[in-house]
Amino acid sequence: MDIYEIIQNLTSAVAGSNAISSWVNIAYGHDIKTIENMDGREMPLSDDCPLVMFFPVRKTTGTDLRQKEFVIGVSLLVYDDSTPVDINDVKSFTGGRNVEVLRQLVLSEIIDNLKSSGILHLEKVDMDYNPIEQYPYNDIAMELLITAEQVIGGNYYE
């Protein structure tokens, strides 16, 4: 199993999701942008958002392992410079909430896609939230731990 095959399948699933497309169009008035891999040297422009990026982090294989492990990174980014909403004397920034809604929609699509593969299993999801550092960009970084059973007689190192 090639880690890029998994990334390509997940990227295509998110890009083709009616639920994600519908929500993004309602919230932002245009389609979502999905990217396989990324160029960390350039920050996406506000017009690129909402944005979901998939990239490889790590793959672990070997003869002593029952399962192959794939760690895939997923970065979600929204741009929202709208004026905070004042609710009961509490200022609420919509960008932080919106990137969380996007995360939930994307993760749901990932889970469905992996289940439909019949061989890939989502074991763990780590999430890092960063709503302040790059304001008005709001982002969440996820690391997905995906496993697949070793095939007897297969290549244990691939």
So what CATH class is 3-149?
A: alpha beta
| pLDDT tens readout for residues 80-132 | 888 787 888 888 788 888 999 999 999 999 999 999 998 999 999 999 998 67
Contact 138, 96 (CB under 8 A): yes
Mean of all residue pLDDT scores within the chain = 90
CA angle 106, 109, 113 (to 5 degrees): 140
Tokens representing residue 146 in the block:
């995906």
Dihedral, CA atoms, 108, 113, 116, 122, nearest 10 degrees? Answer: -70
Residues in the chain: 158
Residue-range domain boundaries for the chain: 3-149
